Chain A
Amino acid sequence: MLRSRVIPCLLVRNNGLVKTVRFGDDKYVGDPINAVRIFNEKQVDELIVVDIDASVQNREPDFKMIENLAAECRMPLCYGGGIKTADQARRIMSLGVEKVAISSAVIQRPSLISEIAEQVGNQSVVVVLDVRKTKNGPDYTVWIHNGKQDTGKCPIVLAKEFVALGAGEIVTNSIDRDGCMKGFDLDLIARVREAIQVPMTVMGGAGSFEDLAQVVRLHGPIGVAAGSLFVFKGVYRAVLISYPSSIEKNSFNKESEKLSNTASKFNDLGKTIKTENTLNSIIKFFTK
């Protein structure tokens, strides 16, 4: 059976990787190519790389950087940041990228989705919705330009519209929970999931492997993405790349009851495995 995808999301700023909290307060976490190499060894399911300054600075995607990253990736790669035309999307795909992620540009001009889908196929068109809760209500709106501009639009309405135009996957990212590591926004996820019939990936808030497992139990097969969870360790947020083992990942996909009984066992097992892995990772991360 198809299993849920566990996806590290890497943010690029000035050629380095950063991690944000609620879309601000970014902290440098390392070199993109080194991170990709470590994630190759950990056999990650997929990788999302987002250039968070490209759209805000109104510049083109950095094709050279994308080419270098794609050449290194042994796993499917999704790239986002600064894509405004179907031609740019096609060029990025030709560099060895499996999926292109678009956000600001399609919220301003939704027909771009169909244009890109025509060039590269629906299966490779990913729309990212950065979502924030409205001030007084239970509702949500979609924000663009790194969470600086409120579009006033409802994510559920937009998700449906974008799928109808040819989006092959919707990614929701909770700005309120970004970098907080206190769990996903389950209400938002449930509302978008039931509205669309394409694969979905959720992001924003994962603080433990159990947070990932919870979403998988409720909505699997689904993509569960995280930044902080895979790059930080401990309360001081030391940079240390980690990723669940295949045993842990498989455990996410098992039935909820079975899983809750055995979760603690897998956690202990995971810890032992991780200690070894992370030691190797830290050595590699800093020696390159």
Chain B
Amino acid sequence: MIAIVDYGLGNIRAFANVFKTIRVEHCIAKVKADLKGATKIILPGVGAFDHAMERLSSSGMREPLEELVVHQKIPVMGICVGMQILGKCSAEGQLPGLGWVNGRVVSMREEGLHMNGVLPHMGWNQVRPMHGCKLFEGLGEEPEFYFLHSYCFQTDDPSIIAAESDYGATFPSAVQTGHVYGVQFHPEKSHQNGVSLLRNFAEIQSC
């Protein structure tokens, strides 16, 4: 059972629709009790970093998620801001992130990650999978996904970069530390490539 964490941010229904289409058992988790029985977790998110952290904390699901992910080692995938909050901190806010992935979130404008100054990074871009990350199995060398963001993940540890993309310069578009995955793009809105990626996540073997 994949639990889609609904803390008021992100396109919950789009994930549910994809899982319904490919017949993957899933539920929408709005409160702590809904996470019971989850064997995998989708952590969506849009908007500002601090806002996302505040909403997640006030939903009452943060502690049970820590228990499931950190102690029980259940696979989790953060999407967009849901990926960014996996890191330790963000240039967009003051609050600490979940810290499940060794990295931080930076402003693309400040880091010179843009083309002709145009931000947000909006639209379809190529993603180059690295290290044979299971999420991208069968997707080819440079599948396209839909992006919509002005901040991005940075890390000093290249081993956790699961995929890279270019927008003026190269940035990590997916990260992975063991059973913790994060993607900056929106698989739920990326047509067939997105469906394949979500299916791959559903098929990852839990520890």
Which A residues are closer than 8 A to B by beta carbons? 1-5, 40, 43, 45-46, 70-71, 73-76, 93-96, 98-99, 119-124, 168-169, 197-199, 221, 223
Q: Bound state CA distance, A168 and B117, in angstroms?
A: 13
The residue that A2 contacts in the complex, of B8, B13, B47, B123, with Cβ under 8 A, is B123
Residue interface bits B2-26, CB-to-A below 8 A is 1, else 0: 0000001001111001000000000
CB-defined contacts of A95 to chain B, threshold 8 Å: 13
* Extra pairs beyond A71-B13, A93-B46, A197-B119 (13, CB < 8 Å): A2-B115, A5-B123, A43-B191, A45-B124, A70-B13, A70-B14, A94-B8, A96-B14, A123-B148, A123-B150, A124-B46, A197-B116, A198-B119
Does B146 belong to the interface (CB within 8 Å)? Answer: yes
Does A76 contact B47, Cβ atoms closer than 8 Å?
no
Q: Which of B116-148 contact A (CB under 8 A)?
A: 116-126, 144, 146-148
Binding site for A on B (CB under 8 A): 8, 11-14, 17, 46-48, 115-126, 144, 146-150, 166-167, 186, 189, 191-192, 194
Take A120-B47, A122-B150 as given contacts and tell me if A98 and B123 are in contact as well, using a CB distance cutoff of 8 Å: no
- Whole-angstrom CA separation of A124 from B80 in the bound complex: 13
A122 CA / B149 CA spacing, docked (Å)? 9
For the complex, would chain A's binding face be called helix, strand, loop or mixed by DSSP majority?
loop
Q: CB-nearest residue of chain B relative to A120?
A: B47
Complex-state Cα separation, A119 to B47, whole angstroms? 8
- 30 A-B pairs whose Cβ atoms sit less than 8 Å apart in the complex: A1-B167, A2-B115, A2-B121, A2-B124, A2-B167, A3-B125, A3-B144, A5-B124, A43-B191, A71-B17, A73-B189, A74-B189, A75-B146, A75-B189, A76-B189, A93-B46, A94-B8, A96-B12, A96-B14, A98-B11, A98-B148, A98-B189, A120-B47, A121-B47, A123-B148, A169-B122, A197-B116, A198-B120, A199-B120, A199-B123
- Please name the residue on chain B nearest to A72 by beta carbon: B17
Which residue in B12, B14, B120, B123 is a CB contact (below 8 Å) of A4? B123
Q: Are B150 and A3 in contact (CB under 8 A)?
A: no
Given known A-B contacts A1-B125, A2-B123, A94-B8, A76 and B148 have beta carbons under 8 A apart: yes
Q: How far, in Å, is A179 (CB) from chain B's closest CB?
A: 26
The verdict on A3 contacting B124 (CB below 8 Å), with A71-B13, A71-B17, A96-B14 known, is yes
What B residues does A74 contact at CB under 8 A? 17, 189, 191, 194
A125–B202 alpha-carbon span in the complex (Å): 32
For residue A119, give the distance in angstroms from its CB to the closest CB of chain B.
Answer: 8
Q: Is the CB of B118 within 8 A of A199?
A: yes
